[in-house]
């Protein structure tokens, strides 16, 4: 239980960091790239063995982590573009609703148990995500020609979570979780660095120290959000469909509450309904296990 709780808390700290980015006018992409290197370095600090770069390609999961790192960068840019065109609520709903992909994967591929309480809990969790995420009546209105953007965010986010579950269960040894997580982040960071170098060469970007500071503040909780999620998946607390559902819906509910307490966000009645449904869904899923 403690691993799942820490993963939720770490992901909520990420939300706080992004809110502060907005307040202090931090360049999000530059900070994201720095964050990946900080997250990767954090993982290496917790890795008990000696890291030999020449041996990394020998790990069964290595090339998958390169692909995941690329997907991290791609989905981030799609999320940024979707936010600009459709608003933050569209991105929030698309990313959190994507939990249905790893849930279905767990139920179909791993033949995880499904019962009445779990079904009701998952359905309530998805409803909760919608109500807690949408902050205005017209928040989800979007030009039809751009609908592919949130769809790609939905699919990509779901693939990331599903891949983490599959890889950690199939290829990653117990003691290699820090190295596995770090490699994903370093892969994403290297790809992002290439993009930044291209922007610098074409004079489309200006660097600032506050972006580096922002990346450092984001990198540590980002690493632990993945690390503790993987540990939670291995804990035996509940199967992956339950872990992903509780993790996602709890992050949405807690982030919403933090927005009220720290940033004076004003919530509508349906947002409060989303928080209540989130709590109910967590209880039902816990009881189903």
DSSP assignment of 86-102 equals H-HHHHHHHHHHTTHHH
> Residue 27 — left, alpha, or beta (φ > 0 → left; ψ -120 to 50 → alpha)?
beta
CA distances from 257 to 4, 262, 286 (A): 18, 9, 22
pTM: 0.88
Q: What number is the average pLDDT over the span 70-83?
A: 85
State the pLDDT at residue 86.
72
Q: Is 140 helix (H, G, I), strand (E, B) or coil?
A: coil
pLDDT computed for residue 136 by the predictor: 61
Can you give the pLDDT at residue 18? 84
- Reported as a single tens digit per residue, the pLDDT across 208-253 is 899 999 999 999 999 999 999 999 998 888 889 899 999 999 998 8
pLDDT interval class at 46 (50, 70, 90): confident
Is residue 89 predicted with pLDDT exceeding 80? no
pLDDT at 81 over 70: yes
What domain range includes position 173? 2-288
- Average pLDDT taken over every residue of the chain: 88
pLDDT given for residue 96 in this prediction: 84
User: What pLDDT, on the 0 to 100 scale, is given for residue 188?
Assistant: 95
Domains: count for the chain: 1
Mean pLDDT throughout 145-154? 86
Cβ neighbours for 55, distance < 8 A, ≥ 6 positions apart = none
Instruction: Name the token pair of 106.
Output: 């767990």
pLDDT above 90 as % of the chain: 47
Q: How much is the average pLDDT of 30-46?
A: 93
Collapsed DSSP state (helix, strand, coil) of residue 239: coil
Q: If pLDDT is split at 50, 70 and 90, which confidence band does 134 have?
A: confident
**Is the confidence at residue 138, as pLDDT, over 50?**
no
- C-alpha 82/C-alpha 113 separation (Å) is 35
Predicted confidence band of residue 141 (pLDDT cuts 50, 70, 90): low
Residue 193 host element (H or E)? helix 177-201
DSSP element (H, E) containing 225 = helix 209-233
Average of per-residue pLDDT across 42-47: 91
More confident of the two residues 21 and 205? 21
Q: What is the mean pLDDT of residues 172-197?
A: 92
């Amino acid at each position: 239980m403690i691993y799942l709780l820490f993963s939720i808390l770490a992901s909520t700290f990420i939300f706080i960091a992004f809110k502060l980015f907005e307040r202090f006018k931090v360049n999000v992409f530059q900070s994201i790239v720095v964050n990946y290197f900080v997250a990767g370095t954090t993982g290496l600090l917790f890795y008990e063995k000696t890291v030999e770069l020449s041996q990394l390609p020998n790990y069964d999961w290595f090339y998958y982590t390169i692909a995941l790192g690329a997907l991290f960068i791609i989905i981030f840019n799609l999320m940024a573009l979707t936010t600009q065109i459709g608003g933050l609520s569209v991105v929030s709903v698309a990313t959190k609703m994507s939990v249905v992909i790893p849930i279905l994967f767990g139920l179909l591929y791993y033949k995880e148990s499904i019962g009445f309480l779990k079904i009701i809990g998952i359905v309530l969790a998805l409803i909760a995500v919608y109500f807690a995420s949408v902050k205005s009546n017209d928040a989800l209105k979007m030009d039809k020609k751009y609908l592919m953007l949130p769809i790609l965010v939905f699919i990509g986010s779901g693939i990331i979570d599903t891949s983490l579950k599959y890889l950690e269960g199939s290829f990653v040894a117990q003691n290699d979780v820090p190295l596995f997580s770090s490699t994903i982040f370093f892969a994403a960071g290297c790809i992002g660095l290439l993009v930044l170098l291209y922007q610098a060469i074409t004079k489309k970007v200006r660097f600032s120290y506050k972006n580096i500071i922002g990346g450092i503040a984001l990198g540590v909780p980002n690493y632990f959000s993945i690390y503790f999620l993987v540990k939670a998946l291995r804990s035996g607390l509940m199967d992956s469909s339950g872990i992903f559902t509780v993790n996602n819906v709890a992050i949405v509910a807690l982030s919403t509450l933090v927005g009220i307490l720290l940033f004076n966000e004003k919530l509508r009645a349906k947002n409060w309904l989303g928080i209540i449904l989130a709590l109910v869904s967590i209880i039902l899923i816990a009881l189903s296990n």
